[in-house]
Every structure is written in structure tokens, then in C-alpha cells.
Structure 1
Amino acid sequence: MNSNTIDKILLKEINKRRTFAIISHPDAGKTTLTEKLLLFGGAIQQAGAVKSRKVARAATSDFLSIEQERGISVSSSVMKFEYKGYEINLLDTPGHKDFSEDTYRVLTAVDCAVMIIDNAKGVEPQTQKLMEVCRMRNTPIITFINKLDREGMEPLDIFEDIEDKLQIECVPLSWPIGMGKRFKGVYNFAKKELGIFSAGYSPKDDDGFYIDDLTDLRLDEMISETQAKQLREDVDLIVGASEPLDMDLYLNGTQTPVFFGSAINNFGVKEMLDAFVKIAPPPGKRSTAQRDVEPFEKGFSGFTFKIQANMDPEHRDRIAFFRICSGKFTKGMKVRHHRIGKEIKLSNATIFMAQERNNIEEAYPGDIIGIHNHGTIKIGDTFTSKEPLKFLGIPSFAPEHFRRVILKDPLKAKSLNKGLVQLSEEGAIQVFRPLLGNLHIVGAVGVLQFDVTMARLKAEYNVNASYETIDLSVARWITCEDEKVLKEFKKKNESNLTLDSEGWLTFLTTSVYQLGFTMEEWPQIVFHKTREHN
């Protein structure tokens, strides 16, 4: 595209935007850090405004109230705030028991991620899973080592843990002085200044805790001679031995800038946020089946990465979350919904500002908008103002847990089918119908989804159902270029084959070992762990 044709206002708005998600293991401090970012951004005025997901630990009988209340309650699905002239879109990634495929797909709608590591625990399994998804897209990662106010691992040991388990090089942009009761502050390499820790530090305290010369003897008085000596040695060592931040390596996801702090005490958060808005990438180009789409193109385009039902329990509404990829959204504009081949009017788009949602007049690439959906929009759907496009990289992941659905009232079979199909369209579960028999098999990435599914079938579709375990643990989608081989494979493996809710042939089996055996036996069959949404 000729640079002379680029809309300068559009370009300015794009360069102001930062769209990211926070990834972490449960209890690493995601809710706390999210809240503190909103405090520093002025989007909320006091702590406690962001709900913790610990409600997900409630009894099964409480799931309906969880669905209505559990902070996903829209407001924490997307949070928009301003900071130092930047428009920041923070997307929620539910963790732990609430973990679902939805979590993975949120990461397809961001331009970078902030990874929180618990100072005492290092890299944990959930973080490794989320990191795998980020790696699929080479998503840039900024790391925040949290809970320095507690005893934990030595900084270099944490670096070794991150580099070993996540295969990403650590570059410290800040460095802690002590930890736990000995935690005295954080040295900022970029500004060459030291922030002295105070448990009462607040977002309004921009200055007053800093010392900008490590040779200053006041440092020995403020933090003790021993710690001052250690800090000087650490800084000299890191400056001499550590690789500097290479923006190219960081932007392709092979190097991560690292910050230390204590989110619960607000400490180290501002340093990270100040650096974040400068080094996090603005919205970039996105791949479609037809071509790459640049954000500064005048034509509007966007895709759906998430569908959330029952945001308003009174109206059983479903909101489709759009990531805007190019052009400018204006209220009432007409766009083409390419999967169904129809033109629709975007009249009541919503944008989410911390705990509130408001109708909006305009939005730009990187922004996330919510559109009311009456069952016609699916995850992965593309919308443009003109040419037909299909955005790529909105995957469906092979589930890891499976249950057989038991319908208690046979007369509700039709309602059960409808409910399962609609819930699968939201992406929380996947539904498989075996080629042999008449079972409903539900698959999910996280086990909580089975209880939520049963509760929602009852509340939304008046279907009384339960589930039982089934001896399955692996699913793979099947393709084969040779029709004859595929036909033979289907004949020999019919008892293991199912169709998912979109009609894709899927192989289900009991173990990875059994899968490996089948793959060896059928080398011409391709077994896919992920697939693109139709």
C-alpha cells in the first residue's frame, strides 16, 4: 500500500494501542496485578474492584451463581484503560479449574502477553501450557517476577528455571534487592535508578523513593552496607555478562524482558507498565487465507475469538467478542459476515471499561468490541467492509478430558442436541458423536467445564443431564489425501471414530501410547492436535 494513502489519524490511533493478556499459573498474582494495572491507569479507584476467581472453588451447586457472577461477568473479560497517552486493552485469561479452550483462543487476539511467575514457585505447568500457545504465534512476552515481599528463589535460579522450561532467554530490566523481610527495593536498568520499597506505596506516589547513583553512600544507610555492596556487584555482573534486550528477538518471542516486584504492594508494577507501553508492539499485520492484512488499511476487518453467553441472565444474551484488525469501526456501519454470506449492521457494539460496559461510537485496530449475537456468529467468523477474507490462526485444540453425557429424560433429546451444539459454538466444550452408536461424548481442556455444561443445560435448555467417565484421553482430527487409504482406515477403526459438531472426522483413543501405535500403522493418515475453525 502506498504510504501516501495511509490515513494519518488512523495510524496515530493504531500506534497508541497496546492489546495484551496476562498469563500465569493460579495464585501467581494475576488478579492482583490486573487490579494494580487498572489502578495505575486510573480505571479503578480502589483495590478490591476486580473479583478473584477463587469463587470457582465453590461447590458444584453454586455453578449457576458462578456463571452469573464470576467476574467473567463481562467486565473482566476485556478491560480497557488509558496510561500516559496509550489506549490499553487487557484481555482476561481464566486460569486453573476455570481453564478452558476459551483461554487459548484469547491469546490469538492479543499482540503480546505479560507472564507472571511466582517468586517462590518458579515456572508451573499451566504457564508452560499457555506459553506453548504463545509460541504458536511467536507472541512477544514480558515477564513479571511477583511476590518479592515473600521468601523465594534467587533471581538467577528463576532465570535458569524460565530458560530451561520455557526455552526463552531472560533479559533483566529491573533487579531486586533481597526478598521477603530483606526486600528493600528494585533497581531499574533503563533509568539507572533504584526504587526503595515501601509497603504503603501507592499509584499516586510517582517520585520520592528513588536514588539514581549506586555509588551514592546514602544507599548504604538506606538498605544496609551488605545489601548495597551485593546490589553493586549484581548490577556490575549483569551489565557485563547479560545480553542486552534485542528488540527483534523479543518481538519474535525468543527473548523476554524481566521485571521484579510485589503486585500486592504496588511495587515494581509502575516500572513494568512504563516499559510495557514503550516496548509492547502496536497492532500488527494479521494473516488471512487470502493475504496479510495491515492494520492501517482503510477497509474494516475483524474476527470473533470468543463468545460469551448469558452476560445478562434476564435476556439470555450472547456477546461475540471481535478483535478489530484493520480500518475504523463506526457505530451503525454495515459489514459482510463472510461465513453466512450476509451483510449485517453493527449498531450496538459494546466496549468494556474495567467494571462497566458502554456502547461505543468508534473503535480502531487492536480494540476489542462486543456484538450482540443471536446464535448466528461463531468463533473464527470474519467480518469486513468489502472483500471476502478468512482470518487464520483461531484454533480449536484437541481436548484432554472426556465424559459421556447421560440424559435423564429421553423426551429432551432434541433440546440436549441444541444445547450441546450451542455450548460447543462458544468454545468451552467440544461434542463428538461416534460413528457407531448414539452416544454424546463431551470433550474439554479443563474438567470444570463438565460441571458448568450440566448446570447450563439445566438452566438454559431445561435439560436434566449428568455425565460419567469414559476410557478416553486423546483426540485427533483426521485428514488424508488418499481417499482409498482414508476409506480403509475408517473401516478398520470405526469404533474409535467420531464426528465433532462441525462434522470433522475425529479419532478418539485411550492413551498417547495407543495413538502412537495407530500413527505407525497408518503413516499416510495425518493426526491433527489443532484445527482451524470453519
Structure 2
Amino acid sequence: MKTVPSSAVERDLATEVNSRRTFAIISHPDAGKTTLTEKLLYYGGAIQEAGAVRARRGAKAATSDWMEMEKQRGAFCSSRRSPYDRYDGFTLNLLDTPGHADFSEDTYRTVSAADNAVMLVDAAKGLEPQTRKLFEVCRLNGLPIFTFCNKLDRPSLEPLELLDQIEREFDLPTYAVNWPIGSGDAFKGVYHRPTREVHLFDAAVTKESRAKKGEDKSTKGLSVLPVGDATLTERIGEELHAQLMEDIELLDELGSDLDLDAVHAGSLTPVFFGSGMNNFGVQLFLDTFLGYSVRPRGRETSDGVIGPTDDAFTGFVFKLQANMDPRHRDKVAFVRVVSGKFERGMKVTNARTKKAVALSRPSQLFGQDKTVLECGYAGDVIGLNNPGSFAIGDTLYTGKRRVLPPIPTFSPELFAYLRNADTGKYKQFQKGVAELLGEGAVQVMYSRDSLKQDPILAAVGQLQFEVVQARMAQEYGVETTLDMLPFNVARWVEGGWDAVDAAGRIFNAQCVKDVWGAPVLLFKNAWNVDQLVADTPEIGTLSPFSKPPAAD
């Protein structure tokens, strides 16, 4: 583990906070999220050569795809934080999210740690189901949303149609910051409205090929022309030039100024066009995004709103990950800094356990790589060695006690007992269950019958089960089987066990307990839920999500 120079330790708190930009990327699978992530990291200097998901055989695997199942499937199965060095005076924290629908709850937790969201759209397909779901997650969290329409080097929908989809389906006005000139084989570049310049696209010239030749990595290597340049018609063709002039006139009529207050309120999305695979429009997006996005924001706590420049340190755990380094069987808690200054070795209080914890081994993480972290500020994400001290949603603080809102757990749709196929590996099985299921990648429940000790996995989709079984085999050497249960709806009993006992015998449902010991009813369908509520008013209120016990 190498140590980061501590030259930034004494920087002014407000200056540090103002320079932070923390954002999450959301998209439907196959929209190009992994590739865009790699290109953003490449432009920011975090990696030397960008990998791509396509053509994995013989190609460099994506740097941030560290889990074996991700390499095989090309899907993100966990969320990670990618630290940038300072870029143009900014420190960027990129929170990557799983694109697969089965991991929507993991995405919700990750988005809760972000201040901005980048919505990636496949320009040929437009809005897709998972994009819609994740958009709602971002809207629930009140995040400003920036849209990047990807793959313009392939045949695409008309830009006005893409804007119309966003406005119509999300009830979200759009503002085109860039405007594409053609698409597919006829894609010639983008018109950048703030500078009234045309950035010309050449499919044969990529960022990586220029860097390998020792040329400047900046966008200066691209052809950038003022919109009135006399050679523009020759460069893009007469027909596309005429169309561009018409489009610019239309855009100017719609208004040339961007309402940043509306962007920050989440009621207007700036839209960009480009090609992540060809590194086109990515740095242009990044540079513009830095000027439009918001710095770390204040958060509601049990003691009122706390600002990012508050002197007292506050943070919350939004992600747990076991075995990021299989050689050391480590367990890492990801903490988003909300206020104040984090310093290596500082002592904080965990609001849930009321215990003091010394944060003596903090790190930044990028894939499997760890770097010792000396200090951090609001917006930063810190990896903490977690021998069992933390749970998802824990608030850590110094000074006056304050508690951030808990992160809710949503209703799963698939349920199965996880069985140990080799009774000779009892200890390995129990260790794997404790560590992997503690991450929250799937929910875990238990039977009320003390003789049934196997955990009940509860998930949104089948892939979550497959990931758990694969990691049990790879990381703990334990083969497992699943015994599926005939339920697809879960409801938490808000009245607790008293309400369950008052209801007496419960029909068409099975009562289990969650990891906090709270009662959960499993149903075969929503109709059974309505029937129970109508027939058994003693059961009280049923909720589709739960929260950890309050930190009193």
C-alpha cells in the first residue's frame, strides 16, 4: 500500500469542499457505461490506458471491473468508488453503479452517496427500462441529472426525438449543450453551444492512439472550428452544413442561456452527445460538467441540516464489500464524508452502536487497488477496514450527536434457502454467509423455527443469487444449492411482533424475521397481501420496505 502525499492536509475547508464533484453514472445494460467510465478515468489521469467491455478476448479488461463475474458477463455486480487526481483544479469522485436491474437496491444506496447523476442513454435505443428505474432513484434523492447520449458513431435516433422522450416520459425539460452533426457513418461531430464551436469527429483518430504516439492527450488534437469558419462546409458536407445551420437557428430560438438553478434543482437536464468508445465528446462533456454540477450538499440529520463546511465530521456507510483482496480476506466499509474534515487515525462515534471507533486504516479504492488516505472532505468516499464494526446506513460523527436518515431496504421478489452442499465445510459456509450477506447485495432473512438455521436469501432478480453462489465457491471454497420458496412479495409488519401475535394464525403467508429481528410476511402475490389486511386488521400496517432500528 502506498501513501498519498499529505500536502492537501492544511488546505482551507471551504476551498476543498468547493473543489469536490461527486457523481454517479446510471444507465441500462449495454448502453456503454463501463466504457464511458473508463474514458472519464482516462481523461482524468486515473488510468493510463482505457479498457473496453467489447472484444474482451485478447483485449485489456476494464480496469474497474475487478470481480470475476463482471469480467465474464460484462456487467457491474457491485458499486465502487474511483478516485481521480485533481483535474483542472477539481477532485472528482466517480461512484459506479450496477447496470443490471437485479441490483437496483445496491444502486439506490450508491446514489444516496452522490451529489450529481450522469444518465447515459444509447442514442440508437433511447430510454430503456432500467434507465427509467434508475432515473426515479435519482429523482427520489433530489440529484441534478446530466444526460449523455452515447454511440453517435452508430445509426441513432433523431436528437429531437431523444429530447422529446426525456421530456415526455420523465416530465423533465432538456437543454442541449451539444448538438450532433449526423450519426452512424455520417457522424461528423458536435456543435458546442456555449462556445459556438464545431468539434469534428474522425473515427480513425482516438485518444488512445494519439497518446501511444506521444501526442498531447487534450482535446487540442481534435479539429475545432468556429461555426462560421469558411472551411466547415467542406469538412462536413454541404447537406449536413445546411442542416446544422437550420438546427442552430432553432436552438437559438429556444433560448441560448442555461438555467443553472433549474439544473441544480433537478428540474432541467443538460444534454450532451458523443461516442464513449471513440473518446469523442467525453472530455468536452467532463469539462462542461465541472462548470454546471453542484458541490457537496447539505444533509438532513436528527439535529437539523448539516452543511458540508461544518467543522464537525459526519459521514455515513453506504456500501460494504468483502474480499476485495482475496489474499487478505478483507472487509471494507465505504463511507461518504458529509461534513468536516476526515483525518487518518481520528476517533468517531457510531450512532447506532454508540461506540467510539478509531479510523486508523483509511484508504481510497480503485478496483482492487488501495491507497492510504491521510485526509478527506465532504464529497469524498473513504474505505475503512471493517471487522464487523459497521453496517449499511451507519452514521459516524464527532462532536455533537447527529444521525443521518437510515437507508431503506426495499421489497424483494425472489426467495430461497441457501444450503451448504458440503457439511464438512460448515465453518467456511458460516463465514461466507456472515461476510457476503452482510454486504447487502441480497437481503437475508431467517425462519422463526430455530431448527431451520439456513439463511433465506431475498432478492430482486436471479442474478443476485448467482453472484452469491459464485462468490461462495470462489472466495470460500463452498458449493451451495438453492431451495426456492413459492413467494414473490414481502411486507414488513410495522407493529412488530406484538401485532403478529395479536393476529394469531396468519393464512396465505409465511412469517420470517429479517437481520434486525423484525417480522416480515412473505406472500405469493399482492392479492394475498390485500386479503390479509382486509381479513386481519389486528396485523396493523404493512410496509414494502424496512429501515434498520433507529439509533436512539
Q: Above 0.5 in TM-score? A: yes
TM-score, structure 1 length as denominator?
0.88
Aligned partner of 2:483 in structure 1 is 468
Q: Quick check: 1:13 aligned with 2:16? A: yes
Partner of 1:59: none
Letter of the 2:241 partner, please give it. Answer: A
Give the alignment partner of residue 334 of structure 2, picking from 321, 338, 343.
321
Aligned-pair distance for 1:218? 2.5
Which of 82, 89, 92 is the matching residue for 1:85?
Answer: 89
Q: Which runs of 5+ in 2 are unaligned?
A: 1-9, 58-65, 208-216
CA offsets 1:98-123 (integer angstroms, 9 cap, x no match) = 73532221111110111110011111
Of 85-94 and 218-227, deviating more is: 218-227
TM-score (norm 2): 0.85
The 1:521–1:185 alpha-carbon spacing in structure 2 relative to 1, beyond 3 Å, is farther
Q: CA deviation at 1:234?
A: 1.2
Measured in 1, the distance between the counterparts of 2:140 and 2:56 equals 29
CA deviation profile, 1:358-382 (whole Å, cap 9, x unmatched): 1011111101110111122111111
Please provide the CA RMSD for this pair: 3.1
Is 1:163 equivalent to 2:167 in the alignment?
yes
Q: Distance in 2 between matches of 1:122 and 1:266?
A: 20
Contact 1:300/1:384 (<8 A) preserved: yes
Give the C-alpha shift of residue 472 in structure 1.
Answer: 1.5
1:454 to 447, 454, 469: 469
- The structure-2 alpha-carbon separation of the partners of 1:514 and 1:232, relative to structure 1 and needing over 3 Å to count, comes to farther
The equivalent residue for 1:221 is 234
C-alpha spacing 1:248/1:521, structure 2 compared with 1 (3 Å): farther
Separation (CA, whole Å) in 1 of partners of 2:68 and 2:367: 21
- One-letter identity of the residue aligned with 2:254: A
Counting only pairs closer than 5 Å after superposition, residues 415-426 of structure 1 correspond to structure 2 as: 419-426=432-439
How many pairs align? 518
- TM-superposed deviation, 1:72: 7.5
Measure the CA separation in 2 of the matches of 1:307 and 1:515: 32
Q: Paired residue for 1:528?
A: 543
Partner of 2:177: 173
Bigger drift between 73-82 and 373-382 goes to 73-82
CA shift for structure 1 position 263? 1.1
Which amino acid in 1 is paired with 2:271?
V
AA aligned opposite 1:134 = C
- What is the rounded CA distance, in whole Å, between the counterparts of 2:261 and 2:455 in structure 1? 48
Q: Deviations over 1:311-367 (max 9, x none)?
A: 121221101111011111111111112222221211110013577421011111101
Deviation at 1:287, TM superposition (A): 1.6
Note the residue ranges of structure 1 that are not aligned, 5 or more in a row. 1-6, 56-62
Rounded to whole Å, the distance in 2 between the matches of 1:393 and 1:188 is 42
Aligned-residue sequence identity (percent) comes to: 41
1:280–1:533 CA distance, 2 compared to 1 (3 A): farther
Determine if the alignment matches structure 1 residue 212 to structure 2 residue 226. yes
Q: 1:217 to 1:514 in 2, by over 3 A?
A: farther
Aligned amino acid, residue 106 of structure 2: D
Counterpart CA distance in 1 for 2:134 and 2:56 is: 20
Task: Kindly indicate whether residue 360 of structure 2 is the aligned counterpart of residue 337 of structure 1.
Answer: no
CA distance in 2, matches of 1:204, 1:428: 39
Partner-residue secondary structure (3-state), 2:137: helix
Tell me the equivalent position of 1:31. 34
**Structure 1 residues 405 and 198 mapped into 2: Cα distance closer, same or farther (>3 Å)?**
same
Task: Name the residue aligned to 2:142.
Answer: 138
Give the 3 Å change call, closer, same or farther, for CA 223–67 of structure 1 in structure 2. Answer: closer
| Cα shift at 1:78 | 2.8
**Residues 508 and 528 of structure 2 are in contact (CA less than 8 Å); yes or no, is this contact kept in structure 1?**
no
- Please state whether the residue corresponding to 1:159 is helix, strand or coil: helix
| Structure 1 position 285, deviation (Å) | 0.5
Equivalent residues in 2 for 1:405-444, closer than 5 Å: 405-408=418-421, 419-435=432-448, 438=452, 440-444=455-459
**Cα distance in 2 for residues equivalent to 1:428 and 1:381:** 17
2:125 is aligned to 121
